[in-house]
Amino acid sequence: MSDPLTVLCVTGWCRNGSTIIGNVLNEVPGFFHVGELHFLWKNATGRGVNDRCGCGEALTGCPVWSTVLPIGRPDGTSPDAHAATVIRRQWSRVRTRHTWRVLRRGLYDDEIRAHADLMGRVYHGIAERTGARVIVDTTKIPGEAALLAHLPGVRPYYVHLVRDPRAVAHSWREPKQYVYAMSAARSTGYWHGFNRASAAITRRYPDRSMFLRYEQFTADPAGTVDALLRLCAADPAGNPVRDRTVHLHTNHTVTGNPDRFRTGPTLIRDSDDGWRRTLSPGRRWAATALAWPLFGRYGYRSPGPAPATVGSTSDNGR
Ligand SMILES: [Zn+2]
């Protein structure tokens, strides 16, 4: 039997910087960043907020996704009806609230077995079409992440990625192209729930998991990529970061931060303190208080750590 396919899975709450990290890893030989694969069926059938691949094509016209979308679709079933089935299973079996059940009981009924079967075939289909040895998935939804360990022929590695909840709340203040706005309290409520569920996964699989603060990545992008390569036993010689700069080529991300369309030499800056200038004291308080006690456990301090972070632009989350 051939070696299992490696999937490097990033979990955590949205706007945590996963898109830029995924796109940097996309430059490692043998790695392929799919963006947020969970949303492929939704976005390809007009149900999502955007329908573009990172390559600029519609998902249904992209050379990668146009050939992946038919995988697992029964004969005689329309793309729209198939997508509706996939979305129903995602909603009923692998949302964040289902994470603990998937960890505890695995493939416990026909619906979750059907979803696992599809996802296994999709990951292998992507590898066959792209030649990838490592698929980087920045979906971030912990229920999907927990399911990965049950897919046949797949070996998952987990990165629990956290970003200062005040920076995340700042990012959610304004709608970003196709992503709506969210209050600081609501953003931080989700931050808490997604991070608790992500921590449950990494506790379950400690030997193939890593906790990462986004601020660590922007403080030392090359060193962080080294650590990520070590995590999944990849050759460190493939690290594409030189002097904080990475040359980004076209990618095929399903969705993510609008910066995913950026290509060319990209500087990863060590500053992510926009929230200090513009996030009101009330919003800061809400983000800090609601994130407690994880806020302190993750190494964040009030009024905040020294300026750290963001990538090539002012906001790299989602
Ligand atoms: Zn594409």
Q: What is the pLDDT of residue 310?
A: 36
What's the 252 CA to ligand 1 centre distance in angstroms? Answer: 4
Q: What is the pLDDT of residue 317?
A: 31
What's the 20 CA to ligand 1 centre distance in angstroms? Answer: 17
Q: How far is CA 110 from CA 106, 116, 267, 313, in A?
A: 11, 10, 47, 44
Q: How far is CA 256 from CA 19, 53, 176, 294, 300, in A?
A: 6, 10, 11, 25, 25
What's the 44 CA to ligand 1 centre distance in angstroms? Answer: 12
Domain definitions of the chain by residue range: 5-297
What's the 61 CA to ligand 1 centre distance in angstroms? Answer: 8
What's the 18 CA to ligand 1 centre distance in angstroms? Answer: 18
Q: Reduce the secondary structure of the chain to three states and give it as a string.
A: CCCCEEEEEEECCCCCCHHHHHHHHCCCCCEEEEECHHHHHHHHCCCCCCCECCCCCECCCCCCHHHHCCCCCCCCCCHHHHHHHHHHHHHHHCCHHHHHHHHHHCCCCHHHHHHHHHHHHHHHHHHHHHCCCEEEEEEECHHHHHHHCCCCCEEEEEEEEECCHHHHHHHHCCCECCECCCCHHHHHHHHHHHHHHHHHHHHHCHHHEEEEEHHHHHHCHHHHHHHHHHHCCCCHHHCCCECCEEEECCCCCCCCCHHHHCCEEEECCCCCCHHHHHCCHHHHHHHHHHHCCHHHHCCCCCCCCCCCCCCCCCCCCC
Instruction: List the one residue out of 135, 133, 129 whose CA is nearest residue 67.
Output: 129
What's the 62 CA to ligand 1 centre distance in angstroms? Answer: 4
CA dihedral of residues 26, 47, 95, 279 (deg, nearest 10): 70
What's the 170 CA to ligand 1 centre distance in angstroms? Answer: 30
What's the 250 CA to ligand 1 centre distance in angstroms? Answer: 8
Domain 5-297 fold is Rossmann fold (3.40.50)
What's the 295 CA to ligand 1 centre distance in angstroms? Answer: 37
Q: Residues lining ligand 1 (ion), CB within 5 A?
A: 53, 55, 62, 252
- Are 153 and 4 in contact, with CB atoms under 8 Å apart? yes
Alpha carbons within 13 A on the beta-carbon side of 250 = 7
Alpha-carbon distance of 262 to 25, in angstroms, equals: 15
What's the 55 CA to ligand 1 centre distance in angstroms? Answer: 4
Alpha-carbon distance of 122 to 68, in angstroms, equals: 7
What's the 56 CA to ligand 1 centre distance in angstroms? Answer: 7
What's the 186 CA to ligand 1 centre distance in angstroms? Answer: 32
What's the 23 CA to ligand 1 centre distance in angstroms? Answer: 13
What's the 257 CA to ligand 1 centre distance in angstroms? Answer: 15
What's the 52 CA to ligand 1 centre distance in angstroms? Answer: 8
Backbone angles phi and psi of 55, in degrees to 5: -80, -5
What's the 256 CA to ligand 1 centre distance in angstroms? Answer: 13
What's the 58 CA to ligand 1 centre distance in angstroms? Answer: 8
- Are 149 and 285 in contact, with CB atoms under 8 Å apart? no
Per-residue pLDDT of the chain (318 residues; tens, 9 = 90+): 578 999 999 998 877 889 999 999 999 999 999 999 999 999 999 998 889 999 999 999 999 999 999 999 999 999 999 999 999 999 999 999 999 999 999 999 999 999 999 999 999 999 999 999 999 999 999 999 999 999 999 999 999 999 887 887 777 666 655 555 677 777 778 888 899 999 999 999 999 999 999 999 999 999 999 999 999 999 999 999 999 999 999 999 999 888 899 999 999 988 666 777 777 888 777 777 777 777 788 888 765 443 333 333 333 333
What's the 6 CA to ligand 1 centre distance in angstroms? Answer: 21
Beta strand pairing call for 154-162 and 5-11: parallel
Q: What is the pLDDT of residue 174?
A: 64
Q: Hunting for tokens 């809400």 — which residue is that?
A: 286
What's the 72 CA to ligand 1 centre distance in angstroms? Answer: 20
Instruction: List the one residue out of 7, 250, 209, 44 whose CA is nearest residue 127.
Output: 7
Q: What is the pLDDT of residue 35?
A: 97
What's the 244 CA to ligand 1 centre distance in angstroms? Answer: 26
Backbone angles phi and psi of 312, in degrees to 5: -65, -20
User: Integer distance in angstroms from the first to the last C-alpha of the chain?
Assistant: 38
Look up residue 46 and give its two tokens: 């007009």
